[in-house]
Structure 1
Amino acid sequence: MYILVTPAKNEEEHLPQLIESVLSQTIQPILWVIVDDNSQDKTSILINAACKKHQWIKYTKLIDSSEYDWLGYGRVVKHGFTHAQKIAESENINYDFLGILDADIVLSNTYFEYLIEGLNEDPTVGITSGTLYIKTKKGTVPEDNSDCPRGGARLYRRFCFEDIGGFSELPSPDTVSDIKAMNRGWNLTRTKKAGALHNRKSSSTRGLWNGYKKMGEGRYYLNFHPFAAFLSGLYIAKNPPFYQGFAYIYGYFKSYVTKNGQTNDDEIMIYFAKGWNKIKMKAKKDITRK
Structure 2
Amino acid sequence: MVIKNYVVVTPCKNEEKNLPALASSIIDNTIKPSLWIILNDGSTDNTCIILNNLEKEYNWIKVIHEKESIRDLGLHYSDIVNKAIKCAFATCEKRSINFEYIGLIDADMILDKDFFEKIIDRFEKNPKLGVCSGTVAYISNGQKTLEKGREKHPIGGLRVWRKKCLEDTGGFPTSYSADSVSNVLAILKGWDTRKYEDITGIQTRKTSSAEGMWKGLITRGKSDYYRDYHPVYVILKFLKYSIKPPFYTGIAYLWGYIIGVIVIKNKINIPEVRAYYRNKHLELLNLKKGTER
Q: Which residue of 1 aligns with 2:20?
A: 16
**Shift in Å at residue 130 of structure 1?**
1.2
CA–CA distance in structure 2, aligned partners of residues 4 and 206 of structure 1: 24
Q: TM-score, normalization: structure 1?
A: 0.93
**Shift in Å at residue 114 of structure 1?**
0.5
For residues 115-149 of structure 1, give each alpha carbon's deviation from its aligned partner in whole angstroms, at most 9, with x where no partner exists: 00000001111111111101335832111142121
Alignment CA distance shift 1:242-1:137 (3 Å): farther
CA–CA distance in structure 1, aligned partners of residues 289 and 164 of structure 2: 40
Q: Which residue of 2 aligns with 1:6?
A: 10
Counterpart pick for 2:82 among 59, 78, 83: 78
**Shift in Å at residue 168 of structure 1?**
1.2
Query: Could you list the runs of 4 or more consecutive aligned residues of structure 1 that deviate by over 4 angstroms after TM superposition?
Result: 282-286
CA–CA distance in structure 1, aligned partners of residues 226 and 196 of structure 2: 30
Q: Which residue of 2 aligns with 1:55?
A: 59
CA–CA distance in structure 1, aligned partners of residues 96 and 114 of structure 2: 27
Alignment CA distance shift 1:138-1:29 (3 Å): closer
Counterpart mapping for 1:186-225 below 5 A: 186-225=191-230
CA contact (8 A) 2:44 2:68 kept: no
Q: Unmatched 5+ residue regions in structure 2?
A: none
Counterpart mapping for 1:102-113 below 5 A: 102-113=106-117
Alignment CA distance shift 1:184-1:136 (3 Å): same
Q: Which residue of 1 aligns with 2:232?
A: 227
Counterpart pick for 1:255 among 257, 260, 266: 260
Q: Which residue of 1 aligns with 2:185?
A: 180
Q: Unmatched 5+ residue regions in structure 1?
A: none
Structure 2 counterpart of 1:44, one-letter code: C
Alignment CA distance shift 1:40-1:145 (3 Å): same
Alignment CA distance shift 1:191-1:5 (3 Å): same
**Shift in Å at residue 260 of structure 1?**
2.7
Alignment CA distance shift 1:237-1:146 (3 Å): farther
**Shift in Å at residue 89 of structure 1?**
0.7
CA–CA distance in structure 1, aligned partners of residues 205 and 168 of structure 2: 32
SS of structure 1 residue aligned to 2:209: coil
SS of structure 1 residue aligned to 2:197: strand
CA–CA distance in structure 2, aligned partners of residues 57 and 74 of structure 1: 21
CA–CA distance in structure 2, aligned partners of residues 76 and 10 of structure 1: 15
Is 1:93–2:132 an aligned residue pair?
no
For residues 69-95 of structure 1, give each alpha carbon's deviation from its aligned partner in whole angstroms, at most 9, with x where no partner exists: 411111111110011110001111000
Matched-pair identity in %: 33
Alignment CA distance shift 1:138-1:42 (3 Å): closer
C-alpha RMSD of the superposition = 1.9
**Shift in Å at residue 34 of structure 1?**
0.3
Q: Which residue of 1 aligns with 2:122?
A: 118
SS of structure 2 residue aligned to 1:181: helix
CA–CA distance in structure 2, aligned partners of residues 29 and 260 of structure 1: 41
Counting matched residue pairs gives 286
Structure 2 counterpart of 1:107, one-letter code: L
SS of structure 2 residue aligned to 1:232: helix
CA contact (8 A) 2:233 2:285 kept: no
Counterpart pick for 2:270 among 265, 269, 273: 265
Q: Which residue of 2 aligns with 1:276?
A: 281
Q: Which residue of 1 aligns with 2:174?
A: 169
